[in-house]
Amino acid sequence: MSPPDQALIDAVVKEDSHRAFAELVKRYQSPLRYSLRQLTGWNEALADDLAQETFIKAHSALSSFQGKAKFSSWLYRIAYNLMLSHFRVARNRELTGGLTGREEQSLWIDNGQEVAASDESLQLHRDLAQAMNHLSDNQRMALHLSLHRECTQQEISDIMSIPLGTVKTLITRGKARLRERLEDWKSGDES
Amino acid sequence: MTRETDIDSLFAQLRSTEPCIQDQGFSTRVLAELEQKAGLAFFKDALITMLFTLIGCLLSYAFFPVAELVELLPNSIHISPMSLLTLGGAVALACSAAYWTLDTDRI
């Protein structure tokens, strides 16, 4: 039987156990990398870089993890802050003209060729990630945590450090915007 | 894209078909990065310590009357058996304290 998260966290904090941390990474890498792909318009390279940075930050801050929230929620909080910070820098570079067109494309959307070459069963996940890319960062995160990860609104509020009322608004508006986007897509398919 | 535009059922479909992303060396890369950062942190700490020690030595040399202090040192020291015993006791006590601290991981 695999040890609980808290036992692994204690081993990392008290004994600096790399094996315990490796176990935590293995346990959470798939859902975290998937979530980050959904939040970055299925940009695999960017999502993996952010996930790697998330685990490194988590390792250095693990002693401050108090176990009040789920470990996964704590990881999502770190990932969300890193993602916001990444997009802020990317936007600033874009505004100051420091980003070439190709760099910009690689930051925001996935390469069409990669999508075409990939497994067809992933197509729905990729399509939704790209549709979600038209929402704001906050709406995307709130919607993903609520509808995909099935977090409660209180958990989302804690992860994103925003008031409960704002979470509700983000989810409602995000859903409406995503619905519009999908309707456009649908009518595009039909025509 | 599926024709289904009901957001909740679309996400339910996504949840049930969420792919399990294979590790493919991801954990190894994270741990390698951690080790690299730990090595750099150790090197940085050592460099900062050495730098400040050097600055401290230079400041001490510039501001302390070293020559006068050296002149204050006695030319000869007379050690009585009692003071030797006291010194030995103090050294033994310091060693025991150091051992206890290291053994109980208090640092």
**A124/B20 CB distance under 8 A:** no
Question: Which is higher by pLDDT, A21 or A101?
Answer: A21
Q: How far apart are CA B38 and CA B17, in angstroms?
A: 38
Chain A: give the shortest CA distance to residue B27, in Å.
6
**Which residues in chain A have their CB less than 8 angstroms from residue B22's CB?**
30
Q: How far apart are CA B51 and CA B72, in angstroms?
A: 30
Q: How far apart are CA A164 and CA A169, in angstroms?
A: 9
Neighbouring residues of A141: CB distance < 8 A, sequence distance ≥ 6: A39, A80, A83, A159, A160
pTM of structure: 0.71
Cβ of A29: how many Cβ atoms within 10 Å?
A: 22
Model confidence over B27-85: pLDDT tens digits? 999 999 998 888 787 888 889 999 999 999 998 888 888 788 888 888 888 888 998 99
Q: So what's the ipTM on this one?
A: 0.77
**Out of A77-81, A99-103, A130-134, B15-19, least confident range:** A99-103
Residue ranges of A 115-154 with Cβ closer than 8 A to chain B: 121-122, 124-125, 127-128, 131, 147-148, 150
Tokens 């925003």: give the residue.
A162
Model confidence over A46-87: pLDDT tens digits? 999 999 999 999 999 999 998 888 999 999 999 999 999 999
pLDDT at A104: 42
Q: Which of B4, B5, B6 is best to mutate for the A interface (most A CBs within 10 A)?
A: B5
Could you tell me which of A129, A136, A189, A124 has the C-alpha nearest to residue A162?
A: A136
